[in-house]
Chain A
Amino acid sequence: EVQLLESGGGLVQPGGSLRLSCAASGFTFSNYAMSWVRQAPGKGLEWVSGISGSGESTYYVESVKGRFTLSRDISKNTLYLQMNSLRAEDTALYYCAKDREGSSTPRYFDSWGQGTLVTVSS
């Protein structure tokens, strides 16, 4: 059974940093692209960032480019999202999501974690 367990969320001041983690199990981690998708309170879904199975390629939505860095440690089956220069508009529940197919680029997502809440506020 695929399991994705996010951690690292919390309350941070504007301009601060957080590192989110997603521990994966139940599948061959290196075979699948992974993504982070966020959901602001009461709002819809927004794809934030994705990474190829090998970790060689990363992808970001424009609003986080230069501030967020996505990486993966295949030896630990863990995905990381380093978030710097956080803004109020980054406040959201951040979901870790696994690609449905073993493609090199993130496409669509068949497994999701329960999410970790990031609140950016002074």
Chain B
Amino acid sequence: DTVMTQSPDSLAVSLGETATIYCKSSQSVLYSFNNKNYLAWYQQKPGQPPKLLISWASTRESGVPDRFSGSGSGADFSLTISGLQAEDVAVYYCQQYYTAPRTFGQGTKVEIK
């Protein structure tokens, strides 16, 4: 299985500052045929199901604020929240969909400092 490892496990950021979450896969999730990274990011707030933020490593879903951005390629990725807002407090997960079974990172909890 492809193991997804996120860092850090938690971070506290001041309102308006930038939060960066890292995700490393145990093997590349880049498909050379189409040059796409098979990597998604989700946000989960307490008591709610996950919400898809980003797919293909950097494509933001419709309606997702542009302060959320994804980057990276191969096996190393990041999710950046620029200008953290109070409503961004949540747990964030990366997920690969390149290999079976689909696997998630362990999650990163983002809090307000």
Residues 90-113 of chain B, each 1 if its beta carbon lies under 8 Å from chain A, else 0: 000101010011111111000000
CB-CB under 8 A from A105, the residues of chain B are 100
Known contacts A44-B93, A44-B107, A100-B55, A107 near B102 by CB under 8 Å: yes
CB-CB under 8 A from B61, the residues of chain A are 110
CB-CB under 8 A from B51, the residues of chain A are 112
Q: Which size bracket describes the interface of B in this complex?
A: 20 to 34
Query: Which of A45, A60, A62 lies in contact with B104, CB distance below 8 A?
Result: A45
A115, B107: Cβ atoms closer than 8 Å: no
Q: Which size bracket describes the interface of A in this complex?
A: 20 to 34
Per the 8 Å Cβ criterion, residues 103-118 of A in contact with B are: 105-110, 112-115
Could you list which residues of chain B lie within 8 angstroms of chain A, going by C-beta atoms? 1, 38, 40, 42, 44, 49-52, 55, 61, 93, 95, 97, 100-107
Residue pairs across A and B with Cβ atoms less than 8 A apart, 13 shown, are A44-B106, A45-B44, A59-B100, A61-B101, A95-B50, A100-B52, A105-B100, A107-B38, A108-B40, A108-B102, A109-B40, A112-B50, A112-B51
